[in-house]
Structure 1
């Protein structure tokens, strides 16, 4: 198994944990099947839309059962450790969600570029890969999706994706560029949460 594949599985697991925690945060009485659905749509929703757009068939989770296994493990880990996380971390949902969007933005961008998509369309598809699963998750949880709120959510993804595109031609090792871009997204997002940064509102 190569590093790209393992990273994709890691991102899937992180997003599965995020989706499960989102469901538990909204309603503590969800059954296990409902939690799996939250985890599933969070983990593969954005990537599935990206693959449909670029016609990358079959979609990864359909052809490779390891993705469903990782999602299931993510649900189990989130349920088993939820009280421990809540005891030592401030809002663990945001932490796992931030890690997920960082990994999946750049993974989605790379996959789009490898499919021959032009650079800036690939940037947008990377953002779709990272955020669309969360949109479905928040909609199912009867919440306003984070991407539609004023807090900086899509902006860190865009910043990291652009950083990746600009750094890649400089001759740096691709793994280093990947890690730097993911670091830009996660660091920017966590700092924006801490500082409560938001884009200016546009009013009618």
Structure 2
């Protein structure tokens, strides 16, 4: 699985310096004990850039054929819950980042398949992007420019801090502000036309 994650990450080198890749814990750290879950052994990372924040879940299907019909993924007659897991991971990331920043941070789930088998699609899932590792960079770039490079950098800084993913909300120490002159979003004056 680590090799599959590395294959997906190599394509993201083409995104440019405005994009940040953050490895994040896909488990719930607020639990007092941790029981291993096979779903959490899948590779995953956050891609933060001008297109927004994406929670990328990587699934290795090898040479097996993948059938996708809406929210259903079928590989070798089995139906793993990849789409539901990708959505769950994106919700966890959005909740943690929103609590850390104090603003709503939307996170888009992305399911990426790594392997050489054929992928047949008979309807895409709602609210979840699906791509192969070879198409991942183009998929993320297709999101356009929704946030600035400075905001993407600040969000990656917050996501890189281990305190963001713990039980308590992350409060940055030092001189960390969303606006350079110390004002808050409520202090910004509207522009006149």
Question: What TM-score results when the alignment is normalised by the length of structure 2?
Answer: 0.35
Q: Which has the higher contact order (CA 8 A, sep 6+)?
A: 2
Question: What TM-score results when the alignment is normalised by the length of structure 1?
Answer: 0.34
In proportion to residue count, which structure has more helix? 1
In proportion to residue count, which structure has more strand? 2
